[in-house]
Structure 1
């Protein structure tokens, strides 16, 4: 699929059919995350693929937003391995993990897998429930699977502002 078509067709799927994601598709998705750029190439992302009933039950304890996805990818980052920007007000953790997650989300669509970016949860509660190390912060959960037959994007999905409303040349 052409990249712009991936961007146009990808939407937050909120109803999955329950079929497990094909291993070869999951491999492509995870590889896309691995290839994502990170500040100073620190690669501080930590990716957890949750597919077991026990693991998915833990996801369900921290968010109502799994929507029946058979796989949840938890994207976290090592808080002790981030680049601190000049001024020391920000670091690369959230930014880098977001780039990784976005790469995986778009790769999923490119191979015919639907997804939903989930951030409706308490990151500390999620880390605790999943037993993650103290040095890791959960950024988001990416539900992935195949859309149910009656799943569809929001009615406003195709509505976009004109570039002139969001872009300023200086």
Structure 2
């Protein structure tokens, strides 16, 4: 499978079956995140792995968009370890963690798993429930598991995505 085939195959999964994600697959997903590029290679990501039914139930409690999955990765950034842009001080943490999460999401797809990138959650509930230190910014949650049912067709991009001419500008605006 080419990279473009993999990217088109990936889709948001909201219904997972009950099978646990095998340890080898989890480690492959985490390794994909580990090797993801970050600004100046500072690697500010911290990833909390939730696999037990108790932890996953606690995560779903009070968080509307956390669907039932056998695995959740809470992806955080250590803001004291992220690169700051020297022109305007802009922090690279969210971009870095976005790249890390994308690598893990695509690795999950490559392994036959489904995933859902969740940004709609109550960060203070998550922080409290999992003892996440104050110096870590909770950026997103990645739900992972085997899809329960068919996933979206890779061909959907032909009709759901804007054509390149609408998003790409050559040389100057």
**Fold conserved between structures, TM > 0.5:** yes
Unaligned runs of 5+ in 2: none
The corresponding residue for 2:85 is 85
The corresponding residue for 1:48 is 48
The question of whether the paired residues in 2 share the 8 Å contact of 1:127 and 1:137 is answered with: no
Measured after TM superposition, the shift of residue 89 of structure 1 is 4.0
- Residue 143 in 1 paired to residue 143 in 2? yes
SS in 2 for 1:168: coil
TM-score by length of 2: 0.90
User: In the superposition, relative to structure 1, how do residues 166 and 10 fare at CA in structure 2: closer, same or farther (>3 Å)?
Assistant: same
- Residue 110 in 1 paired to residue 110 in 2? yes
The question of whether the paired residues in 2 share the 8 Å contact of 1:19 and 1:146 is answered with: yes
The question of whether the paired residues in 2 share the 8 Å contact of 1:11 and 1:157 is answered with: no
Report matched runs for 1:7-156 at 5 Å.
Answer: 7-149=7-149, 151-153=150-152
- Mapped to 2, the partners of 1:124 and 1:91 lie a distance apart of 21
Unaligned runs of 5+ in 1: none
Measured after TM superposition, the shift of residue 67 of structure 1 is 2.2
Measured after TM superposition, the shift of residue 157 of structure 1 is 4.3
- Mapped to 2, the partners of 1:146 and 1:58 lie a distance apart of 21
Report the count of equivalent residues. 168
- Mapped to 2, the partners of 1:152 and 1:87 lie a distance apart of 43
Give the ranges of 4+ consecutive aligned residues of structure 1 lying more than 4 Å apart after TM superposition. none
Question: What RMSD in Å do the two structures reach over aligned CA positions?
Answer: 1.7
Measured after TM superposition, the shift of residue 139 of structure 1 is 0.5
- Mapped to 2, the partners of 1:122 and 1:66 lie a distance apart of 10
- Mapped to 2, the partners of 1:40 and 1:52 lie a distance apart of 35
The question of whether the paired residues in 2 share the 8 Å contact of 1:62 and 1:126 is answered with: no
SS in 1 for 2:81: coil
Measured after TM superposition, the shift of residue 61 of structure 1 is 2.0
- Mapped to 2, the partners of 1:90 and 1:98 lie a distance apart of 15
